[in-house]
Amino acid sequence: MADVFSRLESFGERYRLERELTPGADWIACDRLLDPESEELTRVLEAERVASGQQSDHATALTVMAVYAGTVTASALLAWALERVVVDMRPANVAIKLSPHHGFEAVGLREPTVTDARLETLVSWVLDEHLLPLAQSMRVRTRAGLRQLNGGIAHGCAAAFCIASRLGGDVDQLHRAYKEFLSASTGELAKLGEVIRLRENDQEGLFYLRNTCCLYYTADDGGKCASCCLDTVEDRVTAYRRILANGVVPH
């Protein structure tokens, strides 16, 4: 089990999971975020609004959803892609720390449980029990569009595979794993974007083309994501090729 967490950490902070949670250390229980009226959801939305300078509740929710799916649960997807094991990231087992900046300071597990399980278990724990109910909660709270919220989920899940592919991960393995995950996923994620594979000189990696917008560009400190659907596919592919050639890993 320790080897799984160590391998995840080798891919960077996005995939690091804290496993000894100190009581009272500003951890927010993720299962509380599924209640649209909870104080914890208020804190998460307000932290992002202040950090990025968002101008509306629904834009804040869309931004939070994308970064949450791309960081909080990303390690579970990568663990399955690399080791074919499932990290227990059901919301009751996960906690987060807020950051003064865009995103989250830390992600932790109450019980660092790793199990041999089928892909359907990963989909159930990450999507059906965690991300999709969170999108529903933020829909009720902010009236953000459910398709756009689910687009943030699709983007964040794809990022787990794409970012790792440009940080030394086996591109074949990660691309194959993403296709398997997408085929088994719920929430109609396949309709919300597409992963493409690009090669530039001797560099190769996976990139995501979004079909929905997280509205981060409307924030005072925001800007368009590299995958932003407001840009043409041709422009995004050109930008991605430049990123690949320069060895940059965009958010």
Distance of CA 149 to the CA centre of its chain: 12
Structure tokens at 129: 């029990």
Looking at mean pLDDT, say which of 44-53, 74-83, 97-106, 231-240 comes out highest: 74-83
Average pLDDT of the residues in 29-55? 94
- Residue 46 exposure: Cα atoms within 13 Å on the Cβ side: 6
Closest CA to 157 of 137, 139, 138, 130: 130
Predicted local distance difference test score (pLDDT) of residue 229: 85
Helix ranges, 25-110 (H): 39-52, 57-71, 74-83
pLDDT category, 2, cuts 50, 70, 90? low
pTM comes to 0.93
- Count of beta carbons in the 10 Å neighbourhood of residue 203: 14
Predicted local distance difference test score (pLDDT) of residue 213: 84
251 lies in some domain = no
Q: Which run of H or of E encompasses 14?
A: none
pLDDT category, 249, cuts 50, 70, 90? low
d(CA 184, CA 173): 17
Question: What residue numbers bound the domain in which 104 lies?
Answer: 2-246
d(CA 157, CA 160): 5
Answer whether residue 250 shows pLDDT above 60.
Answer: no
pLDDT category, 248, cuts 50, 70, 90? low
Percent of the chain with pLDDT over 70: 98
Backbone phi and psi for residue 146, each to the nearest 5 degrees, phi listed first: -65, -35
d(CA 247, CA 175): 19
Contact yes or no for 227/186 (Cβ under 8 A):
no
Q: Which run of H or of E encompasses 159?
A: helix 146-165
Nearby residues of 210 by Cβ (< 8 Å), 6 or more positions away: 151, 154, 155, 192, 193, 225, 227, 228, 229
Q: Is 230 exposed, middle or buried (0-12, 13-18, 19+ CB in 10 A)?
A: exposed
Predicted local distance difference test score (pLDDT) of residue 209: 95
Answer whether residue 251 shows pLDDT above 60.
Answer: no
Percent of the chain with pLDDT over 90: 78
Structural domain count, the chain: 1
- Name residue 198's beta-bridge partners: 205
Answer whether residue 221 shows pLDDT above 60.
Answer: yes
Instruction: Tell me which of 68-82, 138-152, 213-227 is least confident.
Output: 213-227
d(CA 213, CA 58): 12
Instruction: Tell me which of 42-46, 49-53, 82-86 is least confident.
Output: 49-53
Tell me which residue has tokens 């109450």: 110
Average pLDDT of the residues in 194-221? 88
For residue range 133-161, what is the model confidence (pLDDT) as tens digits?
999 999 999 999 999 999 999 999 999 99
96 lies in some domain = yes
pLDDT category, 128, cuts 50, 70, 90? very high
18 lies in some domain = yes
